[in-house]
């Protein structure tokens, strides 16, 4: 905790997770929820999230509540209920809290994995990045600036966030934070396409009308990017790249996704298994679907 506060005072930000000293009961409760089928219980989700946030000593909090195939909350009604519960708990504790309900009907950005998603985030901080990731960064960042009284409106907040992304100061601040916490940013955000890349081709041609984000996530787990059992190790270097996203045109026999060939020993990570799972995650239709907003609702 002392180191956390020192980093925070030095560069204005710090990264922390649940520890033996920060909301220690939460880890044990989550393990119980995992084996009792109550991970998706809204009261228990809210208790888990807010116990950690309030234990950090916050004054304000912005929550990103996702909805869609890649989220715990599959319907807008469930997402709204969770967001309202979280905001109410925080406000009753005397905190400034708001929640944005955001679309997770397809993966954010184009990369799925551990190291690659960090690198994709660095792209955003470098003034580049995928449009949906940039939009989410602007929306959440602006909301935080308003709650922190560093901006008078969401519009002013968005302008401030866009400015620090463009001039490099956001990346510089993140780099300082990582270094203070004993890490080091990679020199390059490229170079993840290895010789053992596997390409996924779907039948037919047309437009991507849907991507099942949950199936993409399960494919990443099969490659070793997540755990099926508590004792499983995580392969931080494995990845999936979505060449095509919703609304984009697909030609006949064109590949729609790439992934890193599974390393020996990865459970359920056979090439055929992951290829079939990713192929099934894509829906192709004759016409592009209507645009869907990323930010669906704000709960304040």
pLDDT tens digits for range 42-63: 999 999 999 988 988 889 999 9
User: Which pLDDT score, from 0 to 100, does residue 25 have?
Assistant: 86
Same structural domain for residues 16 and 97?
Answer: yes
User: Which pLDDT score, from 0 to 100, does residue 232 have?
Assistant: 78
User: Which pLDDT score, from 0 to 100, does residue 37 have?
Assistant: 81
Same structural domain for residues 7 and 82?
Answer: yes
Confidence band, pLDDT 50/70/90 cuts, at residue 28: confident
Average pLDDT of the chain to the nearest whole number: 90
What percent of the chain shows pLDDT beyond 70? Answer: 94
In a domain, 266, yes or no: yes
Instruction: Among 175, 192, 209, give the residue marking a domain's end.
Output: 192
pTM for the model: 0.89
Confidence band, pLDDT 50/70/90 cuts, at residue 93: very high
Same structural domain for residues 68 and 161?
Answer: no
3 state DSSP class of 113: strand
Same structural domain for residues 146 and 201?
Answer: no
pLDDT tens digits for range 175-230: 999 999 999 887 664 555 555 789 999 989 999 999 999 999 999 999 988 887 76
The structural domain count of the chain equals 3
Same structural domain for residues 77 and 140?
Answer: no
Instruction: Among 104, 130, 151, give the residue marking a domain's end.
Output: 104
| Torsion angle of C-alpha atoms 153, 167, 5, 85, degrees rounded to 10 | 40
Residue 132 is inside which H or E element, if any? helix 131-147
Same structural domain for residues 62 and 145?
Answer: no
CATH number, domain with residue 182: 3.40.1030.10
3 state DSSP class of 151: coil
| C-alpha span between 184 and 211 (Å, rounded) | 34
State the residue range of the domain holding 224: 197-285
pLDDT tens digits for range 62-90: 999 999 998 889 999 999 999 999 999 99
Instruction: Among 39, 72, 104, give the residue marking a domain's end.
Output: 104
pLDDT at 239 over 70: yes
Same structural domain for residues 114 and 206?
Answer: no
pLDDT at 32 over 90: no
Same structural domain for residues 48 and 115?
Answer: no
| C-alpha span between 26 and 45 (Å, rounded) | 10
pLDDT tens digits for range 123-159: 999 999 999 999 999 999 999 999 999 999 999 999 9
| C-alpha span between 234 and 224 (Å, rounded) | 6
Phi, psi of 243 (to 5 degrees): -70, -35
User: Which pLDDT score, from 0 to 100, does residue 26 have?
Assistant: 85
Mean pLDDT of 30-42: 83
């Amino acid at each position: 905790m002392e180191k956390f506060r020192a980093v925070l005072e030095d560069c204005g930000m710090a990264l922390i997770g649940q520890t033996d000293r920060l909301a220690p009961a939460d880890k044990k409760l989550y393990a119980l929820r995992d084996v009792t089928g109550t991970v998706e219980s809204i009261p228990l989700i809210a208790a888990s999230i807010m116990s950690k946030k309030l234990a950090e000593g916050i004054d304000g909090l912005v929550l990103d509540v996702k909805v869609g195939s890649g989220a715990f909350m599959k319907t807008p009604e469930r997402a709204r209920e969770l967001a309202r519960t979280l905001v109410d708990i925080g406000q009753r504790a005397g905190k400034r809290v708001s929640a944005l309900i955001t679309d997770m009907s397809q993966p954010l950005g184009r990369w799925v994995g551990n190291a690659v998603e960090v690198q994709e985030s660095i792209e955003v901080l470098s003034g580049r990045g995928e449009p949906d990731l940039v939009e989410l960064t602007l929306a959440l960042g602006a909301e935080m600036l308003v709650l922190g009284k560093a901006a008078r409106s969401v519009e002013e907040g968005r302008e401030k966030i866009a400015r620090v992304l463009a001039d490099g100061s956001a990346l510089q601040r993140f780099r300082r934070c990582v270094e203070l916490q004993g890490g080091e940013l990679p020199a390059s955000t490229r170079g993840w396409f290895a010789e053992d890349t596997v390409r996924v081709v779907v039948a037919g041609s047309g437009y991507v009308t849907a991507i099942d984000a949950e199936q993409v996530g399960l494919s990443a787990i099969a490659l070793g990017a997540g755990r099926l059992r508590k004792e499983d190790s995580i392969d931080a270097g494995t990845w999936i790249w979505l060449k095509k996203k919703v609304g984009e045109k697909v030609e006949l026999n064109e590949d729609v996704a790439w992934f890193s060939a599974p390393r020996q020993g990865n459970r359920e990570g056979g090439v055929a298994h992951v290829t079939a799972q990713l192929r099934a995650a894509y829906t192709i239709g004759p016409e592009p679907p209507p645009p869907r907003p990323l930010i669906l609702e704000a709960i304040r």
